[in-house]
Each structure stands twice: as structure tokens, then as C-alpha cells.
Chain A
């Protein structure tokens, strides 16, 4: 059974960089797309972007200028960096495995439990 677990600081100061790592267990990170998705308090889910195991990425245009997703296949991990954060970036951040894809357009069939990140001074 594939399992994903998000890790990283739960509190980030405004204007700094939010960094999270997703560790994949129970399966290889190879040959899949891997996404980050977030949900601000009281709001809906927002897809942030994905990375293919080979390293190719694609990001939501609304966040593209501030987002970097990277992968470390040797550790079976992928990571999210979000720069210049504000209070609006406070959210539960989920990592997920993508499946049922067509040209990178996917659904997510395995998700982590989520990590709450609060942006506050």
C-alpha cells in the first residue's frame, strides 16, 4: 500500500519560503506524476503543481512565479518550495500521487494526510 507523508515547518514568517517534503513509502516514485495540493481554512482545494519522476514539472499559473517542485528519486521524496509567502498561503498542504493521466492531466489516487502551515510573524 502506497503511503505519503508530508513534513516541514508548521510556521513560516511572511516573505520567507515555505518548504515541505513528501516521503513516499510502499512503492517507487518512478513512473508516476506527483502533485502538491493545498486547502486554505474555509476554502476549497487548490492544485499547486506536479513533478514527473524524471524531473519535468508543471505549475498552476496562479502560483507559477513562486513555486518550485523537485524530486529526489534516491530518497523516494519530492519537495515543494513556495517563496515570498503571505497570510494567504496559510493552508493544509497535501502531497499526492497522480494516476489516470493523459499528458500530465491527472487525478490523485493516493494522498498524504496533510500538513498545516501557518504564515505568521
Chain B
């Protein structure tokens, strides 16, 4: 199965700063990569699908890029509600797999 490695494990930033999260795949996942946000006690939320497409209702400050094995989620200017854990997921190869997550915390 494909292993997704996210880095860093924790990102400490202040509101208004730019966040850059990385997801690296053990082999190519083509363009079949998504990003999710999860806050404590809440259901995970799909942010980005197929690398760069924002899901319904997702603000424009969230953007995704990359291809093959290296992918990035960028939050252009952190809002207070953006401090959460973020996961990447691939659907290129069976079974679908997730990264271990990056926690974005308030500095």
C-alpha cells in the first residue's frame, strides 16, 4: 500500500501567517490526493480534492498543489478557526490511505 508521510508533525504559527504543509507519497499517486481538516470533537472536513480543487464551501485561503509524489497544502493567512489537524489521503492505489497528520497550533 502507498505510505503518505506528512511534515512537519506540528506547525506553530500565529494568526495571519502563511502555513505550508507537506505530504509525500511512497510512490506516485498521480493527481489523486485530498486534504482534510479535523478539529477536536468535530467531524473531519474535506478541504481539497484531486490536488487542487476546493470542496464546496471551502474558503479561497486554502489551496493545494503538487503532482506525483510531492504535495502541498497552503493556508495563505491563518484564521483562528484554522488551527486544527490536517490529513492528506490518496485514492490512486488500493486501498486508499491517509497521512499521519500535521497539527497547526497557535504560537
Known: A4-B43, A107-B91. Contact between A44 and B100, CB under 8 A? yes
Known: A44-B101, A45-B87, A100-B50. Contact between A105 and B94, CB under 8 A? yes
B50 touches A46 (CB 8 A): no
A47 contacts which chain B residues (CB < 8 A)?
95-98
Known: A4-B43, A113-B42. Contact between A107 and B95, CB under 8 A? no
Q: How many A-B residue pairs have CB under 8 A?
A: 53
Q: Is the interface of A mostly helix, strand, loop or mixed?
A: strand
Instruction: Count contacts on A: residues with CB < 8 A to the other chain.
Output: 23
CB distance from A63 to the nearest CB of B (A): 9
Report A1-16 CB contacts with B as 1/0, cut-off 8 Å. Answer: 0001000000000000
B residues apposed to A, CB below 8 Å: 32, 34, 36, 41-46, 49-50, 55-56, 87, 89, 91-92, 94-101
Roughly how many angstroms separate A83 CA and B66 CA in the complex, as a whole number?
40
A residues 95-114 near B (Cβ < 8 Å) are 96, 100, 102, 105-114
A107 touches B34 (CB 8 A): yes
A residues apposed to B, CB below 8 Å: 4, 43-47, 60-62, 94, 96, 100, 102, 105-114
Roughly how many angstroms separate A89 CA and B34 CA in the complex, as a whole number?
26
B41 contacts which chain A residues (CB < 8 A)?
113
9 contacts between A and B (CB under 8 A): A44-B100, A46-B98, A47-B96, A60-B95, A100-B50, A106-B96, A109-B56, A113-B43, A114-B43
